[in-house]
């Protein structure tokens, strides 16, 4: 993977940075911690311009986030709630009420969630989903996603620029963090699936209350 990324970027320049960062957001296993540090190294070598690399990386990152945003927006909250209230509820691990509560919270704090979510490995892609489900406006999504993406790409590019020939070291530090975040999310999901209990029906709860 690393050799493919470096060879591709050497041949394609800014367009390659844009394309790989877009794919990194659509298909997370392509790691940005390998793409942008190498781009920073190439800038330090004098083959690419720093501003061009940052613009290409940020634009690619935002472009890659849009398919998830639109997919969630098109699928819609109501469909998701039908699944949460049906036979596949265990695999979603939330109830329709949980979804309403989560989306209400996202509508209040969504701008911060998108901004800072774009800075967290593994969460960078997933944050587009609640933004789409919560009907965050496209303008707000683009604005806060762009700011967060610029900060992330800037950090990785700067690391590659400063380390120059040792740019590979960036991945050795960031990659374990990405895997740890992803592992924690997976473990939490599996825990919720295993411990899932179907909520009592409203009628049953009312009957139980009357009996007491």
In the chain, where the domains are located: 2-197
3-state helix, strand and coil shares in percent for the chain, rounded to the nearest 5: 80, 0, 20
- pLDDT tens series, the chain, 212 aa: 667 777 888 888 899 999 999 998 887 666 777 888 888 988 988 888 999 999 999 999 999 999 999 999 998 888 888 877 777 777 777 788 888 888 888 888 889 999 998 888 778 888 898 999 988 999 999 999 999 999 999 999 998 888 877 777 776 777 776 677 777 878 877 877 788 777 665 444 444 444 44
Q: Return d(Cα 117, Cα 178) in angstroms, integer.
A: 13
Check residue 7 and give its pLDDT. 81
| 158 burial via Cβ count (<10 Å: 0-12, 13-18, 19+) | middle
DSSP 11-71: HHHHHHHHHHHHHHHHSTTS-HHHHHHHHHHHHHHTSS-HHHHHHHHHHHHHHHHHHHHHH
Q: pTM for this structure?
A: 0.78
Is 40 in contact with 34 (CB distance < 8 Å)? Answer: no
């Amino acid at each position: 993977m690393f050799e493919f990324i470096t060879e591709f970027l050497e041949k394609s320049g800014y367009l390659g940075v844009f394309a790989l960062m877009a794919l990194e957001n659509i298909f997370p296993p392509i790691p940005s911690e390998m793409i942008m540090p190498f781009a920073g190294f190439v800038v330090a070598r004098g083959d690419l311009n720093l501003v061009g690399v940052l613009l290409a990386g940020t634009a690619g990152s935002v472009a890659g986030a849009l398919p998830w945003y639109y997919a969630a927006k098109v699928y819609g909250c109501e469909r998701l709630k039908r699944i949460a209230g049906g036979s596949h509820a265990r695999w979603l691990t939330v109830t329709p009420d949980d979804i309403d509560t989560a989306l209400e919270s996202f509508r209040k704090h969504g701008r911060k969630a998108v901004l800072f979510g774009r800075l967290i490995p593994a969460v960078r892609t997933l944050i587009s989903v609640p933004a789409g489900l919560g009907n965050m406006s496209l303008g707000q999504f683009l604005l806060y996603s762009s700011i967060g993406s610029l900060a992330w790409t800037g950090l990785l590019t700067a690391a590659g620029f400063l380390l120059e020939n040792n740019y590979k070291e960036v991945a050795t530090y960031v990659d374990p963090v990405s895997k740890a975040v992803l592992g924690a999310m997976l473990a939490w999901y599996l825990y919720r699936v295993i411990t899932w209990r179907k909520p009592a029906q409203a009628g049953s709860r009312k009957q139980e209350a009357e009996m007491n």
